[in-house]
Amino acid sequence: MDSHPTSLRKPARGMIPGVKNVALDADLLRALDRREIEVLFQPQFSSRSGAVVGAEALARWKHPTLGEIGARDLFAIAERAALVAPLSRHVVARALEDAASWPEPLNLSLNITPEELGDPRFASDFAALIGRCDLAPNRLMLEITEDVLLRNLDQASAALGALRNLGFRTALDDFGAGFCNFRYLRELPLDALKLDKIMVDDIPGDPKALAVLRAIMALCRALELEIYAEGIESEIQRAAIISEGCDYWQGFLRAAPMKGHEVVALSQTARGQGHG
């Protein structure tokens, strides 16, 4: 990603059809100046207790005529307009402003882009940024996706290693959405693996999908990696991934992305609500 500490997003997948690029670029620049890009948080739940353990930060833009633009399209616009760096600075600042007031043990997950991990200064710059807020490094999970690794695996590994040495936690995000290169699990300094929604969509009805899930779970346990499941939308899915040993999950079943203060409120009401 850009050379500035983390932007909070999922990787861009495309552009918005039928919209003039130049107009969108100018709109985004104005939105940054006016602090109109907001950050929402997708709560994450403990499979064992049902408690909220943290949340993943996601960028959103409420465009005056197009309506809400999600993180993927937002960063696609920013990349074309050469605005990824200011967008990253804006979003991370807003996310940390909110999360700095969260009570322990709520954690914050941040998505890291290719440009960031490709910058040799990233680890030290990021540590300096976090040092200016009240959030301890061990309460931050830094998530990377496969597109980050395809650009320069050695550089990504070195940057993640430096971050882990500083106390940050790391996760491989959206596992199953791309090539599922198991080399990454062997060579990268990781704490967790996040299963993409596609890996749980057909669970438990599809025997092959369930067999794949079980194999990945066994591999993660052997590597001592925590396991997160994304995109949980039904009670059947939730029960299935928990029965197979998934540690944490997130999805619309219990919570859509929300404001930071709503995460705190949810964490208070969800305490002690175990789910099997």
For the stretch 23-66, pLDDT in tens is: 888 999 999 998 889 999 999 999 999 999 999 999 999 998 99
Q: Which residues pair with 195 in a beta bridge?
A: 175, 229
Q: What percent of the chain has pLDDT over 70?
A: 90
What pLDDT does residue 3 have? 34
To the nearest 10 degrees (0 to 180), the angle between helices 153-165 and 122-131 is 30
Residue 19 pLDDT level (bands cut at 50, 70, 90): low
**Tokens 């500490």 identify what position?**
5
Which has more confidence, 237 or 183?
237
Residue 15 pLDDT level (bands cut at 50, 70, 90): low
Q: CA nearest 45: which of 90, 109, 94, 101? A: 109
* CB half-sphere exposure, 172, CA atoms < 13 A: 29
Choice among 12-21, 43-52, 141-150, 169-178 with the minimum mean pLDDT: 12-21
What pLDDT does residue 11 have? 40
**Tokens 């001592």 identify what position?**
224
CA atoms of 130 and 96, how far apart (whole Å) = 8
What pLDDT does residue 14 have? 45
To the nearest 10 degrees (0 to 180), the angle between helices 21-33 and 84-99 is 40
- The residues, ordered by sequence, that sit 6+ positions from 5 with a Cβ below 8 Å of its Cβ are 88, 89, 92, 116, 122, 125, 126, 129
Q: pLDDT for 71-91, tens place per residue?
A: 889 988 998 888 887 887 788
Residue 271 pLDDT level (bands cut at 50, 70, 90): low
CA atoms of 38 and 4, how far apart (whole Å) = 18
Which H or E run contains 267? helix 260-269
How does the average pLDDT of the chain come out, rounded? 86
Q: CA nearest 177: which of 204, 158, 150? A: 150
CA atoms of 54 and 98, how far apart (whole Å) = 12
Q: What is the chain's alpha carbon radius of gyration, rounded to the nearest angstrom?
A: 18
Residue 16 pLDDT level (bands cut at 50, 70, 90): low
Q: pLDDT for 130-155, tens place per residue?
A: 888 888 999 999 998 877 777 778 88
**Tokens 């941040």 identify what position?**
110
Residue 113 pLDDT level (bands cut at 50, 70, 90): confident
| pLDDT for 98 beyond 70 | yes
Q: Which domains does the chain have, with CATH numbers?
A: 21-269 (3.20.20.450)
230 in catalytic set:
yes
Of these residues, 38, 146, 230, 244, which one is catalytic?
Answer: 230
Cα separation values, 151 from 28, 107, 113, 116, 257, Å: 27, 28, 11, 12, 30
3-state secondary structure of 9: coil
Q: CA nearest 145: which of 172, 181, 184? A: 172
**Number of CB atoms found within 10 A of residue 94's CB:** 18
How many residues in total does the chain contain?
A: 276
User: Is pTM, for the whole model, over 0.85?
Assistant: yes
Residue 13 pLDDT level (bands cut at 50, 70, 90): very low
CA atoms of 37 and 4, how far apart (whole Å) = 17
What pLDDT does residue 60 have? 94
| pLDDT for 272 beyond 90 | no
Q: pLDDT for 190-217, tens place per residue?
A: 999 999 999 999 999 999 999 999 999 9
Structure tokens at 43: 């709560």
The DSSP result for 75-112, as a single string, is HHHHHHTT-HHHHHHHHHHHHHHHHTTPPTT-EEEEE-
Q: What percent of the chain has pLDDT over 90?
A: 56
